[in-house]
């Protein structure tokens, strides 16, 4: 089964590398979100995705809770500065959804601010769509048993246990279930739907994640290269 996953991932990386060529040629911007709790296989899938792309044409942004952001203007401002340029891809490892997930679960946001945040997120994503940006949102979920097992393995490794200023959110916590239900209900929009990824099997999750990105890009990217003014086949 491992060999099968390896072969599938290799084919998907090749497919995505080929899809990046028309993205660059046509100057299409792309945003890919990796969301979900700790231990759900996001980083394993990210490694596979990053291996597919031209490293000069994408950037990975790791998003953590920042207590300073409330004093720095609108809470989305730091993400505006990280939007991709023409032909480039911005990958967010966690994202603006931390506000309606982690902050809600940890009690850092009240109901009125929560509702306003969802409205602002949906408007922000609609603006990206209106300007031609391709947006793929991947949500990695995991069972409580597998999450506990993976986090214990990490805690036993002195290198892997470094970092992380907050305790991981337990997917068995009822507050997590409420936050996830709210996420699906209020941000699974027609223009930027969520792709739900089962993270219990990391290899299978990586396959599902890369396939979701490739499928989304194939639907919107032109199949033909752009034509230059005056080039053969273009009317004068």
pLDDT, tens digit, 9 for 90 and up, residues 25-82:
999 999 999 999 999 999 999 999 999 999 999 999 999 887 655 556 789 999 999 9
Supply the pLDDT for residue 235. Answer: 45
Backbone angles phi, psi at 177, to 5 degrees: -60, -40
What are the Cα distances from residue 90, in Å, to 76, 83, 181, 197, 229? Answer: 15, 6, 26, 20, 30
Supply the pLDDT for residue 1. Answer: 44
Supply the pLDDT for residue 163. Answer: 63
Element (H, E) at 137: strand 134-141
Supply the pLDDT for residue 158. Answer: 83
Buried b (16+ CB within 10 A) or exposed e, 97-122: bbbbbbbbbeeebeeeebeebbeebe
| Region of poorest pLDDT, from 160-169, 195-204, 216-225 | 160-169
Q: What pTM value is reported for the model?
A: 0.92
Element (H, E) at 178: helix 174-187
Q: Average model confidence (pLDDT) for the chain?
A: 91
Supply the pLDDT for residue 164. Answer: 62
Determine whether domain 2-220 maps to CATH 3.20.20.370.
no
pLDDT band at 229 (very low <50, low <70, confident <90, very high): low
CB 139 within 8 A of CB 212: no
Domain ranges of the chain: 2-220
Backbone angles phi, psi at 175, to 5 degrees: -65, -35
Supply the pLDDT for residue 197. Answer: 98
């Amino acid at each position: 089964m491992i060999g099968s996953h390896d072969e599938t991932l290799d084919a998907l990386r090749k497919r995505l590398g080929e899809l990046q060529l028309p993205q660059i040629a046509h100057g299409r911007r792309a945003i890919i979100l990796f969301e979900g709790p700790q231990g759900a296989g996001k980083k394993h899938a990210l490694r596979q995705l990053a291996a597919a792309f031209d490293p000069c044409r994408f950037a990975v942004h790791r998003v953590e809770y920042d207590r300073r952001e409330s004093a720095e203007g609108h809470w989305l401002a730091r993400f505006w500065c990280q939007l991709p340029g023409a032909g480039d891809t911005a990958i967010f490892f966690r994202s603006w959804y931390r506000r309606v997930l982690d902050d809600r679960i940890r009690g850092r946001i009240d109901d009125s601010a929560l509702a306003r945040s969802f409205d602002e997120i949906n408007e922000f994503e609609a603006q990206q769509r209106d300007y031609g940006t391709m947006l793929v949102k991947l949500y990695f979920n995991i069972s409580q048993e597998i999450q506990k097992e993976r986090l214990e393995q990490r805690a036993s490794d002195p290198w892997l246990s470094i970092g992380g200023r907050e305790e991981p959110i337990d997917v068995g916590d009822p507050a997590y279930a409420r936050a996830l239900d709210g996420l699906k209900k209020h941000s699974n929009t027609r223009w930027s739907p969520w792709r739900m990824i089962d993270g219990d099997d990391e290899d299978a999750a990586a396959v599902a994640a890369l396939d979701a990105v490739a499928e989304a890009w194939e639907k919107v990217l032109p199949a033909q290269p752009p034509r230059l003014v005056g080039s053969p086949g273009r009317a004068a």
